[in-house]
Structure 1
Amino acid sequence: MKIGSIVIDCKDFDRMAAFWQQVLHYVPREPGEAGWVVLKDPEGRGPNVSINQTSEERSGKNRLHLDLYTEKQREEVERLLGIGATLHRPREPDEDFVVLEDPEGNLFCIVDTSSRS
């Protein structure tokens, strides 16, 4: 068994689909339907991320979030802030991650992997 897709529910489908495509550099697996698209890693390395429009309001803190790994944390955080993410919590001295929010307030982390072997 393996993870096939991680689904992100949202209200503003177009905005969220565009945001996550830019964040991950993913592309639609096939043309999306109204309120639904499966985004895939064009290099086939990561799981799919699906964007699903819902009328339900988000309530409370995420029970699941993405940790996105990069060796260029500062540059990636700046890029993501430029495309619509907001800073939720900056990196603390004893941590290797920054917590961001997507345009609908879903939390995700940018993890610095530059010092890992």
Structure 2
Amino acid sequence: MLTVGAIVLGVADVPRAVRFWQEALGYRTHGTGFGGAATILVPVDGTGTPIALQRNETPPQDHPRIHLDLHVADLAAMHAETDRLVSLGASRVDWDSYPADPDFVVLADPDGNRFCVVDLGHVPI
């Protein structure tokens, strides 16, 4: 049986990515990489999906097929978390594919990897 072991992000600057994602998610560095190939970040309480940060010089995709969705409870939390993430080094993405009534904001981490902050309490208009 297969399970998802980690989400892997390609990054050019591993120490910078470690700082950003630790602050963004409250994760800690795992003692060793899985197979030694990456720096692994894990939730402090042990629940949740690990993130592996692997050195990669390939530029990130503008419209990635796979990305992270970070969930929040409501619109106020979405705005607060977006502002917090930007203060940590994320950038707002001028996303050309927003629907008319979006329930998410597209950001990029300091390496340009796209991710979304999603309002789970969104009620479509």
TM-score scaled by length of structure 1: 0.84
**Paired residue for 1:82?**
87
Is 1:48 matched with 2:81? Answer: no
Instruction: Tell me, yes or no, if the aligned pair for 2:90 and 2:109 is still in contact at 8 Å.
Output: yes
Distance across 2 between alignment mates of 1:95 and 1:29: 35
Code of the residue aligned with 1:78 in structure 2: it is D
For residue 113 of structure 1, what is the aligned residue in structure 2? Answer: 120
Unaligned runs of 5+ in 2: none
Q: Which runs of 4+ in 1 moved over 4 A?
A: 90-93
More strand by share: 1
TM-score (norm 2): 0.79
Partners of 1:24 and 1:50 lie apart in 2 by 13
1:78 to 1:92, Cα distance in 2 relative to 1, 3 A: farther
Contact 2:103/2:122 (8 A) holds in 1? no
How far apart in 2 are the matches of 1:59 and 1:77?
Answer: 20
CA shift, 1:23, in A, is: 1.1
Say which SS state the counterpart of residue 85 (structure 2) adopts.
Answer: helix
Q: Give the share of equivalent positions with the same residue, in percent.
A: 34
Query: What 5-or-longer segments of structure 1 have no aligned partner?
Result: none
